[in-house]
Amino acid sequence: MNKTWCERINPVVRDMPPSGIRRFFDMVAETKGVISLGVGEPDFVTPWHIREACIYSLEKGYTMYTSNSGLLELRYAIARDLAETYGVTYDPKSEILVTVGVSQALDLALRALVCPGDEVLIPEPSYVSYAPTVTLAGGKVVSLPTGMEQGFCLRAHQVEAAITPRTKILLLCYPNNPTGAVLDRKTLLEIAEVVVAHDLIVISDEIYDKLTYVGQHTCVASLPGMKERTVLLNGFSKSYAMTGWRVGYACGHGDFIAAMTKIHQYTMLCAPITAQMAALEALKNGRAGMERMVREYNRRRHLVLHAFRDMGLPCFEPKGAFYAFPEIRVTGLTSEEFAEILLQEEKVAVVPGNAFGSSGEGFVRCSYAASLEDLGEALRRMAQLVRRRGVRPRVISTPSRHLPARDAGVSAAGGASSRIFHPGRN
């Protein structure tokens, strides 16, 4: 060969850094006896009635291709679910596309929309795939850093300030991975105003919508005037504990869904029928089971927040998803150092915050999708490390009355004016 593989590989791919999680994964995989809070998926297996429905569909011989857009019955069920939950109506025949997880839906949406050099605004810290997927589609990533002081919530003025003549898309993901932040309706309305004023498109990844613990999730497409300029992405992975099935969907304007479907039919054909059958069962009969899981996550959410407060780590109150994003700067370590030392000395895996963009530096992502026993033990071990790093545990033994002034929901551990623990609520 005259040229090496390296020389032949598309430079866009060659120069793309591997996921920050990957390196850490290899390190964790080599360590024995690790309790992991680094997992970005539910610790529940898919409810049995869903698995059983899938097995039954196999027995009946459902093993063929489906329509490119996905099983029509499933699209009807998705439309019904969205209409009932958010009052947004999509035509199952032309405005919904069933995909192989939200990942593929996002890839399709970006490929169908982005022209070389188009700018895509992404609030940061963000899910690890967003930026690379934009780059692969030929777009330019513009990060909008959000910090703990603003509750990791994107603000309208940030969007406004980042807009250039090339800005085309705002990519939202709330409830957010990795921070657990949610955007309230008011903030979203302000952002929507900017989006409309500058004629942008919103791609909204709402995979964690059902896992909202405080207040109600606001579906971007349900805001006045936003449905026509929103590509709504969702799926079954998180709310129904179906990560490995890989089923998601995209909803949007018929013309745009048709464009996405064109790429889909040439590159994927259709999502696997067995998984679509399972998804249909999830929508038909999965609500009670899903609500049980949500209640369980919420209790664990209180538990981890309380534990971080006690060990002296400031932590923003996550209102959705199943992640907590404590700040570890008080230990004097960087995110990666903290994660590495925690792994080596205490055998607990968390994900360094900088894996989600540079604004995640100083934080670690802890998933509370873990059993109560594992969670309790992992937090105990984490507290030991934090104490060894000279951070004083600030145990407030008697939770005080309701205190105001916590608009961002940030709690400096032990601080007098803000706290995580709300004995009065519920």
Pattern 338-377, binding to another protein, x per CB under 8 A? -----------x-x--------------------x-----
Q: How far apart are CA 20 and CA 324, in angstroms?
A: 18
Q: Which residues pair with 329 in a beta bridge?
A: none
Residues numbered 172 to 211 that lie near another protein (CB under 8 A) are 177
Whether the Cβ atoms of residue 93 and residue 75 lie closer than 8 Å to each other? yes
Alpha-carbon span 54 to 50, nearest angstrom: 6
- Retrieve residue 365's tokens: 């992502």
Among 80, 253, 306, 389, binds another protein (CB under 8 A): 306
Distance in Å, CB of 349 to another protein, minimum: 6
Q: Residue 41 interacts with another protein (CB under 8 A)?
A: yes
Q: What are phi and psi of 134, to 5 degrees?
A: -65, -45
Site for another protein in 61-120 (CB under 8 A): none
Q: For another protein, which is the closer residue by CB, 200 or 207?
A: 207
**Residues ≥6 apart with Cβ < 8 Å to 328:** 313, 335, 338, 362, 363, 364, 386
Q: Are strands 167-172 and 140-145 parallel, antiparallel or unpaired?
A: unpaired
Residue 18 to residues 25, 105, 127, 132, 338, Cα–Cα distance (Å): 12, 21, 14, 9, 21
Residue 24 found at the interface with another protein (CB under 8 A): yes
In the complex with another protein, the residue whose CB is nearer, 155 or 300, is 300
Pick the stretch among 254-262, 299-307, 380-388, 402-410 that binds another protein (CB under 8 A): 299-307
Query: Does residue 426 touch another protein according to CB under 8 A?
Result: yes
Work out which of 21, 72, 259, 294 binds another protein, going by CB under 8 A.
Answer: 21
Nearest approach, Cβ of residue 422 and another protein (Å):
6
Among residues 368, 348, 241, the alpha carbon closest in space to that of 300 is found at: 368
CA distances from 295 to 289, 376, 422 (A): 10, 18, 17
Query: Could you list the residues that contact another protein (CB under 8 A)?
Result: 19, 21, 24-25, 28-29, 34, 36, 38-41, 43, 45, 127-129, 177, 295, 299-300, 302-303, 306, 349, 351, 372, 399, 421-423, 425-426
